[in-house]
A = this chain, B = another copy of it.
Amino acid sequence: MLINEQERNALYKVIYGRRDVRSEFMPTPVPNEVLLRILNAGHHAPSVGFMQPWDFVVVSEEFTKAAIKQGFDAANAQSAQLFSGERQEKYNSLKLEGIMDAPLGICVTCDRERNGPIVLGQTIKPEMDLYSTVCAIQNMWLAARAENIGLGWVSIIDDKVLRAALDIPERIEIIAYLCLGYVSEFSEQPDLEKHGWLARMDINDVIHAEKWSAQK
């Protein structure tokens, strides 16, 4: 099945318009069929040995979100201490999560034992199942953007907090906690670029011909 130019341009529009949303969430409910389309996009990600190791825990109760938010606050206070001076001030001025603002949370996990102990394609690189789960997240991120729904990946939470709040067994790997919801706007630039935390690198500095060590 061929993709035409218009469809190709639509993909690039979604890729370039995607943001890691923290500040612009609105309480507008996300219809269930829209949520299902986003999850189904995740479920159709590539996976090593076709093992489909992901699970999606959909969080919508205030009580659950509050426990997760508390975990973020503790982890964030601890993290801020790793920066100093101006950099710490800047860190503390950034909003790094939208846990309570977003109507939905999705915890994405990886079941490393799914479909048997030996996984085709994972015999040499044991982390492949974790990476497959991340591919599912990126599919969901783009699907959400195409639904005009913002998504933010909150990584400043101890796994222990999510395990307790969402009753996740020890043998299950926690990959991400995502916040989802309609937004007041999608920023033109990533938040951290806009606020001067770091600049976008020149793409020529990350492309190498034939050898990693080659003149970029």
Chain B CB within 10 Å, residue with most, of A36, A40, A139: A139
The answer to whether B198 and A57 have CB atoms under 8 Å apart is no
Whole-angstrom distance between the alpha carbons of A141 and B132 in the complex? 13
Q: List residues of chain B with CB within 8 A of the CB of A159.
A: 125
Contacts A12-B37, A146-B11, A212-B166 given: A75-B124 contact, CB under 8 Å?
yes
Q: Mark A191-213, 1 if CB is under 8 A from B, else 0.
A: 01100011011010011111111
The answer to whether B3 and A155 have CB atoms under 8 Å apart is no
- Chain A residues 146-200 with CB under 8 Å of chain B are 146-148, 153, 155-159, 166-169, 172, 175-176, 186, 190, 192-193, 197-198, 200
A166 to chain B, nearest CB (A): 5
The answer to whether A25 has its CB under 8 Å from any CB of chain B is no
Main secondary structure of the interface of A (DSSP, over half): mixed
The answer to whether A58 has its CB under 8 Å from any CB of chain B is yes
The answer to whether B208 and A15 have CB atoms under 8 Å apart is no
The answer to whether B121 and A57 have CB atoms under 8 Å apart is no
A19 to chain B, nearest CB (A): 8
- Determine which of B11, B37, B54, B64 lies in contact with A210 in the assembled complex, contact meaning CB atoms within 8 Å: B64
The chain A residues found within 8 Å of chain B, CB to CB, are 1-3, 6-8, 10-18, 20, 36-37, 39-41, 43-46, 48-52, 54-61, 64, 75, 78-79, 82-83, 91, 94, 96, 107, 109, 115, 118, 120-125, 127-128, 130-131, 134-135, 137-139, 141-143, 145-148, 153, 155-159, 166-169, 172, 175-176, 186, 190, 192-193, 197-198, 200-201, 203, 206-214
